[in-house]
Amino acid sequence: MKKYLLVISLFIYANTFAQFDVSAGMGLAFFNSDDLEHYLNSNFANSTNQLGAFNSSADFFMELGYELNENYQVGFEYNFNLYSFNSSFGVGIYDLSLSHHKPSIIGYYIIKGIGYKLKVGAGAGLRIIQAEEKLLGVSNYSTNGLGVIVKAQGDTKLSGNLYALIAGELRYDLPGEIQTLGEKTIGFNSIGVGVKLGTVYYF
């Protein structure tokens, strides 16, 4: 009987703090990828669209979070990043489109108060890149690897269980290499920073 009471007590204790939240939004990311920069600047960029050390891309995300107790949370984030580059080249237009899938499991330390929640954490996950090149035809490639993320987020109450969020993050991704047009091998390893805006619903 005591064992059953202990299990019930632990279950009640765990669920006293347990809380789910789901968030979604979009943002802007800046990344540095030496191989990609060199490949595009050397082969397809002209004087007006040379890539710099850091380049911008669009981010879209969803995350499901679960509070383990008052100060710790685990989250599963799916991040979808889009980058494109195009340039007039020879007899046609060169176009490169990158779709970068970045699912991650993140552990957070959280601080909560009336109407707000702050959290900072780190995690890792799979990284998958799908690339499409167009120049007198279309070529498709894909590669996958791993990546890590450090993230800080602040939530502020809008109404009821709905909150607004702002987040900043630092990423280091190693999704591997592909063979592109002309059998050139390039890697997509990158370091990046980003900012995101969105909404959170607690339940």
pLDDT per position as a tens digit, 95-142: 999 999 999 999 999 999 999 999 999 999 999 999 999 988 899 999
pLDDT tens column, 78-98: 999 999 999 986 667 899 999
Contact 128, 114 (CB under 8 A): no
The CA distance from 165 to 153, in Å, is: 7
- CA dist 97 → 76, 82, 141, 180 (Å): 26, 8, 11, 12
The CA distance from 172 to 187, in Å, is: 13
- Model pLDDT, residue 10: 46
Characterize the bridge pairing of strands 185-187 and 162-174: unpaired
- Model pLDDT, residue 13: 46
- Model pLDDT, residue 181: 65
Domain ranges of the chain: 18-202
* pTM summary value: 0.86
From 139, 118, 117, 119, select the one nearest 130 (Cα to Cα): 139
Give me the CATH topology for the region 18-202: Porin (2.40.160)
Partners of residue 178 on adjacent β-strands? 186
Characterize the bridge pairing of strands 162-174 and 92-113: unpaired
From 147, 161, 149, 148, select the one nearest 196 (Cα to Cα): 149
Q: Is 183 left (phi over 0), alpha (psi -120 to 50) or beta?
A: left
- Model pLDDT, residue 142: 94
Characterize the bridge pairing of strands 20-32 and 72-89: unpaired
Q: Is residue 180 over pLDDT 90?
A: no
Q: Is residue 1 over pLDDT 80?
A: no
pLDDT tens column, 127-139: 999 999 998 889 9
Q: Is the dihedral of CA 174, 130, 28, 168 positive or negative?
A: negative
pLDDT tens column, 49-73: 888 889 999 999 999 999 999 999 9
What residues contact residue 33 under an 8 Å CB cut-off, 6+ apart? Answer: 55, 187, 188, 189, 190
Q: Is residue 17 over pLDDT 60?
A: no
The CA distance from 103 to 78, in Å, is: 4
